[in-house]
C-alpha cells in the first residue's frame, strides 16, 4: 500500500506505524542499530530535534510532553499528536519555515521532507531493536533513496548519516535504503 503524498496524511500513517512499534516495545534498554543508542533513544531523537527545528525557522512551538526517560510511550504519543495537530491545522497551509541551509519552504512540506521521513527510517531502528515487524513501505523506501542518492556528499557531510553499508546486488528497496543511510540491514541486538 503506497503512502499518501499529502503531508498530514503521510505523517498520520507513518506516525501510526512508529506508534505501534513504540507500544510494542518490551525493553527500552535494548541496543538499537544506531551506534551507542538504545531503543529509548530512537523516540528520544525524534522528540528532541523537531521542536528546535520548528522554533528556529517558524512560529510553531510544540508543547512539552512527558519525559522519554519516565514514559517513552506517553512521551511519543504526546509528541506525535502535537505534530499531527500542526499538520491538520488549516492555518499551516499559509506558514513557511525559513532555514539558512534550506531557504524558505512551506511548513507542511518541511515537516514532511525532514521529519516524517526521519520517523519512517527510524521505524526500522526501533522495530529491529525491539524484535518487531521491521517491514517498511517499499515504494516510499525507493522514493527516499532516489531523493537522497544525488545529494550523497551533502548528506554524508552533515554528520546525520554514517558511511554507506554495502548491500548485496539486487537487494530490495528497503535494504538498499538502509545501507545508504548507514544501517547494516543484517544488524541484530
- Mapped onto helix, strand or coil, the DSSP state of residue 96 is strand
Task: Label residues 157-175 b or e (16+ Cβ within 10 Å = b).
Answer: eeeebeebbebeeeeebbb
- Mapped onto helix, strand or coil, the DSSP state of residue 158 is coil
Provide the pLDDT for residue 1: 59
CB 32 within 8 A of CB 83: no
Cα distances from 37 to residues 19, 53, 114, 181, in angstroms, run: 19, 21, 21, 16
C-alpha cell at 90: 488549516
C-alpha cell at 160: 546525520
Question: CB-hemisphere CA count at 13 Å for 137?
Answer: 16
Q: Which residues lie below 8 Å from residue 186, measured CB to CB, with a gap of 6+?
A: none
* Chain region(s) in the chain for CATH 1.20.120.450: 7-133
Of 111, 102, 11, nearest to 54 by C-alpha is: 111
Site of grid cell 503506497: 2
For residue 97, the 8-state DSSP code is: E
- Mapped onto helix, strand or coil, the DSSP state of residue 47 is helix
Residue 99, phi then psi, degrees to nearest 5: -140, 135
Residue 83, phi then psi, degrees to nearest 5: -65, -40
Written as tens digits, the pLDDT of the chain (189 aa) is: 578 899 999 999 999 999 999 999 999 999 999 999 999 999 999 999 999 999 999 999 999 999 999 999 999 999 999 999 999 999 998 999 998 877 899 999 999 999 999 999 999 999 999 999 999 999 999 999 999 999 888 888 877 788 999 999 999 999 999 999 999 999 998
C-alpha cell at 78: 504526546
CATH class of 7-133: mainly alpha
Cα distances from 173 to residues 68, 141, 146, in angstroms, run: 31, 6, 10
Amino acid at each position: 500500500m503506497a503512502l499518501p503524498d499529502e503531508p498530514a496524511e503521510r505523517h498520520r500513517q507513518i506516525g501510526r506505524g512508529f506508534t505501534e512499534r513504540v507500544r510494542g516495545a518490551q525493553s527500552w534498554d535494548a541496543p538499537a542499530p544506531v551506534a551507542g543508542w538504545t531503543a529509548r533513544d530512537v523516540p528520544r531523537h525524534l522528540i528532541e530535534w523537531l521542536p528546535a527545528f520548528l522554533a528556529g525557522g517558524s512560529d510553531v512551538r510544540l508543547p512539552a510532553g512527558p519525559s522519554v526517560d519516565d514514559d517513552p510511550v506517553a512521551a511519543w504519543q504526546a509528541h506525535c499528536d502535537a505534530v499531527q495537530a500542526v499538520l491538520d491545522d488549516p492555518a499551516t497551509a499559509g506558514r513557511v519555515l525559513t532555514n539558512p541551509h534550506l531557504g524558505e519552504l512551506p511548513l507542511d512540506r518541511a515537516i514532511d521532507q525532514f521529519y516524517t521521513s526521519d520517523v519512517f527510517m527510524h521505524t526500522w531502528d526501533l522495530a529491529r531493536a525491539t524484535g518487531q515487524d521491521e517491514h517498511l513501505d517499499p515504494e516510499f523506501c525507493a522514493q527516499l533513496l532516489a531523493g537522497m542518492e544525488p545529494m550523497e556528499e551533502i548528506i554524508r557531510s552533515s554528520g546525520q548519516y554514517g558511511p554507506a553499508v554495502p548491500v548485496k546486488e539486487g537487494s530490495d528497496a528497503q535494504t538498499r535504503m538502509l545501507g545508504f543511510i548507514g544501517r547494516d540491514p543484517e544488524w541484530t541486538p
